[in-house]
Amino acid sequence: MQWKRYGAIAAALIILAGAAYAIWLNVQSSELPAGIAGSNGRIEAERIDVASKMAGRIAEVNVDEGQWVKAGDLVARLDTAEIDAQLHQAEAAVHQAEQQKIQAEALLNQRRSELQFAQSEFARAERLAEKGHVSQEQVDQARTALTTAEAGVAAAEAGIDLAQATIAAAEATVEQLQSVRADANLVAPHDGRVQYILAKAGEVVSAGGKVVTLTDLTDIYMTIFLPAHDAGLLAIGSEARIILDPIPDYVIPATVTFVSSTAQFTPKSVETSDERDQLMFRVKLTIPEDLLKEYQEKAKAGVAGMGYVRTDSATPWPEMLTVKLPK
C-alpha cells in the first residue's frame, strides 16, 4: 500500500506544479498592458535532410550527432566501386576514339595523295590521247581511278567526322559518370548542427534515402497561438519578444513572419462573437539571423518559453519586455 501513497503524493505534486504554472501564466498575462498579447510556445528550427540521389551502400559517415558542419562539408559517402569501374571504361573509350581519329586523319592524308596521283595520271592520259599515243580505253581507266580516289577522300573525311562524334559521345559518358560519382559524396547543403544520423556505414539506402538530418540554426522561430481578436490585429514584420524558460532574465527580439489564415483550434459550432474569440491562430515569431549567428553555440531547438506581440504598434514595450541579451 506504500507505493499507492507515494503515487498519490506524486500526482498531487504534478497537479500543484501545473496549477502553479497556470497561475504564473495568468499573472504574466495580467501584467501585460493593452495592445500587447502573449502566449506560451516552443523554439523550433528548420530541419534539412541530407539524402542520397541514388541507391547504394554507405561507405562511411563522417559526422557525429551534435557536430557543427558548414555548407559543402562531406557528411557521408556511398560506395563507388562499380561507378569507378564504369568511369575507367568510359575514359578508355575516349582514348580509343581519339586513336581512331588519328588513324582516320592518317588515312585521309593517304587518300589525298592517291587523289593527287590519280589527277596527274588522268591529265597525262588526256594529253597523250590528244597526240594519239594512248587509246581511249586507257583514258577511261585513268578517269575511273580518279573517281575512285575522289570517293576515297570523301570516305576518309567522313571517317574523321565519325571519330569526332565518337569522341564527343564517350566524353559525355565520362561527364555523366563523373556527375554520378560526385553525387555519391553527400555534402551539407547548409550550415547547421547534426540532429540525427539515420543510417550507418554498411547499410544500403534507396534513391532519396535520408542519411543525416541537420538543424538550420540560422532559421529559428517560436510558434505561438493567439485568439482571433489578437491575431487579426497583427501585421507581418512587426516586432515581437521571446522569453525562454531556462533563461527568464533575458528578452530576445523577434519578428512576426507568419500569421495563419485559418484557425488551428475550432469549436464544434461558431455562431456568436464569444465563440469566434475562441478560435486560435498560429503565429510565427522569427529570431533575426544575425543574432542567431552571434549566439550560434547557445541556440537550441525544443526550448519552451513565452512569445509576446504588439497588437497596437503605438503601444510601447513595457520594461519587462525590453530587449536584454546575455553577454
Q: What is the pLDDT along the chain (327 residues), one digit of tens a residue?
A: 444 454 555 555 544 444 444 444 444 444 788 889 999 999 988 888 999 999 999 999 999 998 989 999 999 999 999 999 999 999 999 999 889 888 888 888 888 888 888 888 878 888 887 777 778 888 778 788 888 888 888 888 888 888 899 899 999 999 999 998 999 999 999 888 898 999 999 999 999 999 999 988 888 899 999 988 888 888 899 899 999 999 899 999 999 999 988 876 654 444 444 444 568 889 999 999 888 888 777 777 888 999 999 988 888 999 899 999 887
pLDDT of residue 28: 46
Distances (CA, A) of 91 to 108, 169, 170, 230: 26, 11, 7, 66
The arrangement of secondary structure in 32-48+217-321, i.e. its CATH architecture, is: Beta Barrel (2.40)
pLDDT of residue 214: 92
Predicted TM-score (pTM) above 0.75: no
pLDDT of residue 137: 83
User: Which of 179, 167, 177 is CA-nearest to residue 87?
Assistant: 177
Report d(CA 240, CA 31) in Å as an integer.
Answer: 17
Would you tell me how many other CB atoms lie within 10 Å of the CB of residue 319? 7
The correct CATH number of 53-79+186-211 out of 3.10.20.30, 2.40.50.100, 2.60.40.1180, 2.102.10.10 is 2.40.50.100
Would you tell me how many other CB atoms lie within 10 Å of the CB of residue 10? 10
Q: For residue 304, what are the β-bridge partners? A: 42
User: Which of 36, 29, 32 is CA-nearest to residue 315?
Assistant: 36
Report d(CA 25, CA 267) in Å as an integer.
Answer: 23
pLDDT of residue 34: 87
Convert the chain into a string of H (helix), E (strand) and C (coil): CHHHHHHHHHHHHHHHHHHHHHHHHHHHHHHCCCCEEEEEEEEEEEEEEEECCCCEEEEEECCCCCCEECCCCEEEEECCHHHHHHHHHHHHHHHHHHHHHHHHHHHHHHHHHHHHHHHHHHHHHHHHHHCCCCCHHHHHHHHHHHHHHHHHHHHHHHHHHHHHHHHHHHHHHHHHHHHHHHHCEEECCCCEEEEEECCCCCCEECCCCEEEEEEEEEEEEEEEEEEHHHHCCCCCCCEEEEEECCEEEEEEEEEEEEECCCCCECCCCCCCHHHHHCCEEEEEEECCHHHHHHCCCCCCCCCEEEEEEECCCCCCCCHHHCCECCC
